Structure 1
Amino acid sequence: MNSTLTDNKTYRPEISAVKEAAERISKVSVITPLAHSVTYSRKYDANVLLKREDLQQVRSYKIRGAYNKISSLSKEQLEKGVICASAGNHAQGVAFACNALKAKGVIYMPITTPRQKVEQTRMFGGEWVEVVLEGDTFDDSFKEAIIHGEKLSLVFIHPFDDEKVIEGQATIGMEILGQAKDPIDFVFAPLGGGGLLAGLSSVFKQLSPNTKIIGVEPDGAASMTCALREGKVVELSQIERFVDGAAVQKVGFRNFALCKENLDQMVTVPEGKICQTILDLYSQDAIVAEPAGAMALSALDFFAEEIRGKNVVCLISGGNNDITRMAEIKERALLYAGLKHYFIVRFPQRAGALKQFVAAVLGPDDDITHFEYSKKHHRENGPAVVGIELKDQKDFNPLVKRMKEQNFYGQYLNNNLDLFQFLV
């Protein structure tokens, strides 16, 4: 088993080790495009380049670190087998590596992992892997995998807090520098446990020290932001699991040390904003990105002034998005944009009340998208939960005003978390 680094020693990946990793993983990974984005370059008046790691064989960069680690093991270790825990993408990288190297692997994943990622893991691993669904979060699965691995003396393939994994992910930095025609001013990359940014930032700080490295986390799982603020690795008591590829309660010790040393800034982005970026990438650029994969691009709005006229790289880290999540993604995007609102509406118990609501309360571009009516015995009013989609967020206040004037207003639900969780 690999132990997690807990002392004050700071591991720094050498460029020679990253080059060795690049040679080792060349058997299974592809050199992904560094593609100019017309859409985002025009939007921000900058030269925005997308590093398309969603085009890897396993549709994420995780194949790099997983294969680099597993292929470096001894013959005896490979014969015994490996074990890992993952929210999905690392699992697919490990599964692919196990199949390619003919090594048995046990892969723990949270029960909440999107079905698409579970099925892909089984497909890539074939007869060489066993998938175990355990716990509600990555951290739950991680703890169970550690216990099981120690019982069987299996090598644990850590998804981020491992030197070989970090060196594998660092090869992305080498590729970007080799592909870029001009000096890179900014690199935006997503952060979950920190393996990607630990490796990538180390390469840039050695070979392109003037490049600013920006780490991006979801608002609901800002483990590195909290760690940097506290000056030590901390474990979040609760996290939002929507961005499953970055839903980590505690970052790695090696990763924290390297990110503390190399990152220029950490920023968090709302989950709803990430959802809008997913929809924009699909509709405008025909790119299928998962939530963690769209996270880096979602941060550009917060740096619009700084990046104007600059060369900017954003990492599209993965494309393992389950199509069944698209309804939720659209809903979250509309909520974030202020275009979707839920109310308890009190309808008089008489004929024509709904018709009056539609005619006198709704604006010409407003649309009812959710209606759940429960007839009560009260003679005056019957409540209903109504979801209304607006064309423009400025239509919200006039809508509420008309609702109150017509005596339909009951309660606004978007800000009532206890009630709202049952709707979204």
Structure 2
Amino acid sequence: MATNYLKKIISARVYDVARETELQVAPELTKRLGNQVLLKREDNQPVFSFKLRGAYNKMAHLPPEALKRGVIAASAGNHAQGVALAAAKMKCKAVIVMPLTTPSLKINAVKARGGSWVEVILHGESYSDAFKYSELLEKKRGLTFVHPFDDPDVIAGQGTIALEIFQQYQEPIDAIFVAIGGGGLIAGIGEYVKAVSPKTKVIGVQSVDSDAMRRSLEANKRIEMKDVGLFSDGTAVKLVGKETFRICKRVVDDIITVDTDEICAAINDVFTDTRSILEPAGALAIAGMKKYVDKHRLKKKTLVAIACGANMNFSRLRFVAERADVGEFREAVFAVTIPEERGSFRRFCELLGNRNITEFNYRIADQSEAHIFVGIGTQKASDSSTIAKHFHKAKFATIDLTHDELAKSHLRHMVGGRSTLAQDELLYRFEFPERPGALMKFLTSMAPNWNISLFHYRNHGADYGRILVGIQVPKNEQKKFQNFLASLGYPHWNETDNPAYRLFLK
């Protein structure tokens, strides 16, 4: 028998712990995008996320004997806080398994919400790893599993957000934008929207490196991703739920993907309008809405974006601020080669005119040419190509690095480092879960006769570490090096032929 989600949503029990959140006009976004933009402020919940709705509704529908035995959950943080708060409210024991990559802010919040009723266990590098371990503990301890997304009661609890939206706004709504991890939030919202306002589009938003739902809907079957990006940790799900996938096939009109820079820009947008700081997953819907408006050239529409979470580590703000300008097309980055002669530096500066310089790096390295790393303030996406053409016209060789990950993450902090000693150097970028021992694992896995000739690591306050490494590998050991990369298991990119590397570091 099919679940009557409209009935379940209307009768859901969420307000013992949750509150009706504001549906708030975003004045600056509305003005800039030429559409009425409304933010559903789920970041204002007691646990700074929508997740307590579904968690509490599930636990409120458990029989007394199940509550007495206790519950277990797997979560990257926000669902865990919802379960912890519900457990303390109901005086029910809860075991919560969280990935090792979970920000400390969320781990500490879970312990604070649940107090003595909650036991936190850290296991694995992603939600999927934590989930598999929680399944073992569920059977071993005889607990009841509270799924973060793939459960009708959880889905119905999240659906109460849509119920509130249509009570709060009586005029037609053209589209609602919703972040997707496992699919519980968009499934609940979609079920209600399509029941009461079928013409309203339900648009899912995922990060480009964690788009399991998009891939699954395209393939018409659930697709499990081998790796997921960790920046938007709240949506880092390798495999979407069976029930959420079934629902999404019917209620989701479109899915749009956004990158890290676009998410950072959206965090900045919401701060400008509300003075609140969303976590990356919390800002996904806003980033996707902006991209969708631009892609479809929407004007004078009413758009709602779910601001679904604000559990942000303060140390991560440095990275967000650095990348927001690129994501909002407010900064373009270039490598420019000019003659190493008197007057050329001044001529280059004159070309810049009144443009705002965001970064300028230069160090003398060659008798005939000077290589400059420059960041320039921009107004729109097309400005970077316009500026590059302007430099080329003046006979200055130019490379547009605005979308070059190596340049944005590393080179801008390293310009000027060359060495004639770095023979047989290979340059690689690596990402690894930011947890104790990960960097040491990398270093100790290397063969002792491979010399590190360049190394750059910068803690971005994110859930993953990024390093740039120059490694001197003799040509007869290339195969051995490739085997090393495979055994290491970290995502990696060969940057040896990157033109920016050859200009500034080679």
Q: State whether TM-score is above 0.5.
A: yes
Q: 1:227: Cα distance to partner?
A: 0.3
Which residue identity lines up with residue 339 of structure 1 in the other structure? E
State the Cα deviation string for residues 77-111 of structure 1 (Å, max 9, x = none): 11221111111110110111111111111111111
| 8 Å CA contact 1:13, 1:167 repeated in 2 | no
* Counterpart for residue 240 of structure 1: 229
Say what the alpha-carbon RMSD is for the aligned residues.
3.3
* Counterpart for residue 296 of structure 1: 285
| Inter-partner Cα distance in structure 2 for 1:414 and 1:296 | 22
| 8 Å CA contact 1:345, 1:411 repeated in 2 | no
| 8 Å CA contact 1:361, 1:399 repeated in 2 | no
| Inter-partner Cα distance in structure 1 for 2:164 and 2:307 | 14
Asked if 1:49 corresponds to 2:41, the answer is no
* Residue from 115, 126, 129 that aligns with 1:137: 126
State the Cα deviation string for residues 290-332 of structure 1 (Å, max 9, x = none): 1111111112232355642222211111111111111111233
* Counterpart for residue 217 of structure 2: 228
* Residue from 331, 334, 344 that aligns with 1:339: 331
Cα distance 1:79–1:184, how it changes in 2: closer, same or farther (>3 A)?
same
* Counterpart for residue 173 of structure 1: 162
Q: 1:262: Cα distance to partner?
A: 1.0
Which residue identity lines up with residue 267 of structure 2 in the other structure? I
Question: For structure 2, which runs of at least 5 residues remain unmatched after alignment?
Answer: 407-427, 432-455, 459-465, 467-506
Q: 1:335: Cα distance to partner?
A: 3.9
Partner SS for 1:297: helix
* Counterpart for residue 21 of structure 2: 32
* Counterpart for residue 153 of structure 1: 142
* Counterpart for residue 310 of structure 1: 301
**Pairs within 5 Å for 1:299-378:** 299-301=288-290, 302-304=292-294, 305=296, 307-336=298-327, 337=329, 339=331, 341=333, 363=352
* Residue from 60, 71, 74 that aligns with 1:85: 74
| Inter-partner Cα distance in structure 1 for 2:334 and 2:429 | 10
Q: 1:46: Cα distance to partner?
A: 2.5
Partner SS for 1:220: coil
Asked if 1:95 corresponds to 2:84, the answer is yes
Q: 1:411: Cα distance to partner?
A: 11
Question: For structure 1, which runs of at least 5 residues remain unmatched after alignment?
Answer: 1-8
* Residue from 4, 7, 11 that aligns with 1:20: 11
| Inter-partner Cα distance in structure 1 for 2:224 and 2:143 | 26
State the Cα deviation string for residues 212-231 of structure 1 (Å, max 9, x = none): 11111111111110000000
Q: 1:133: Cα distance to partner?
A: 1.7
* Counterpart for residue 476 of structure 2: none
Which residue identity lines up with residue 78 of structure 1 in the other structure? L
Cα distance 1:106–1:39, how it changes in 2: closer, same or farther (>3 A)?
same
Cα distance 1:372–1:98, how it changes in 2: closer, same or farther (>3 A)?
farther
Cα distance 1:87–1:343, how it changes in 2: closer, same or farther (>3 A)?
farther
* Residue from 246, 270, 280 that aligns with 2:259: 270
* Residue from 376, 380, 387 that aligns with 1:390: 376
Cα distance 1:161–1:380, how it changes in 2: closer, same or farther (>3 A)?
same
Partner SS for 2:377: coil
* Counterpart for residue 260 of structure 1: 249
| Inter-partner Cα distance in structure 2 for 1:345 and 1:108 | 52
* Counterpart for residue 109 of structure 1: 98
Q: 1:358: Cα distance to partner?
A: 7.0
| Inter-partner Cα distance in structure 1 for 2:337 and 2:66 | 64
| Inter-partner Cα distance in structure 2 for 1:120 and 1:403 | 56
| 8 Å CA contact 2:331, 2:358 repeated in 1 | no
Cα distance 1:184–1:368, how it changes in 2: closer, same or farther (>3 A)?
closer
Partner SS for 1:25: coil
State the Cα deviation string for residues 153-189 of structure 1 (Å, max 9, x = none): 1111110001110111111111111111212221111
| 8 Å CA contact 1:53, 1:59 repeated in 2 | yes
Cα distance 1:312–1:410, how it changes in 2: closer, same or farther (>3 A)?
closer
Cα distance 1:62–1:356, how it changes in 2: closer, same or farther (>3 A)?
farther
Cα distance 1:414–1:58, how it changes in 2: closer, same or farther (>3 A)?
same
Aligned length: 402
| Inter-partner Cα distance in structure 1 for 2:323 and 2:303 | 27
Which residue identity lines up with residue 33 of structure 1 in the other structure? E
State the Cα deviation string for residues 266-296 of structure 1 (Å, max 9, x = none): 1112221111010121133312211111111
| Inter-partner Cα distance in structure 2 for 1:209 and 1:143 | 37
| Inter-partner Cα distance in structure 1 for 2:183 and 2:83 | 18
| 8 Å CA contact 2:358, 2:376 repeated in 1 | no
| 8 Å CA contact 1:342, 1:414 repeated in 2 | no
**Pairs within 5 Å for 1:175-254:** 175-254=164-243
Q: 1:198: Cα distance to partner?
A: 0.7
Which residue identity lines up with residue 215 of structure 2 in the other structure? C
Which residue identity lines up with residue 60 of structure 1 in the other structure? S
Partner SS for 1:172: helix
Cα distance 1:38–1:96, how it changes in 2: closer, same or farther (>3 A)?
same
| Inter-partner Cα distance in structure 2 for 1:416 and 1:42 | 31
Cα distance 1:338–1:303, how it changes in 2: closer, same or farther (>3 A)?
closer
Cα distance 1:127–1:330, how it changes in 2: closer, same or farther (>3 A)?
same
* Counterpart for residue 6 of structure 1: none
Q: 1:398: Cα distance to partner?
A: 6.7
Which residue identity lines up with residue 119 of structure 2 in the other structure? E
| Inter-partner Cα distance in structure 1 for 2:161 and 2:91 | 26
Deviates more, 1:326-335 or 1:390-399: 390-399
Asked if 1:124 corresponds to 2:116, the answer is no
Partner SS for 1:84: strand
Partner SS for 2:205: strand
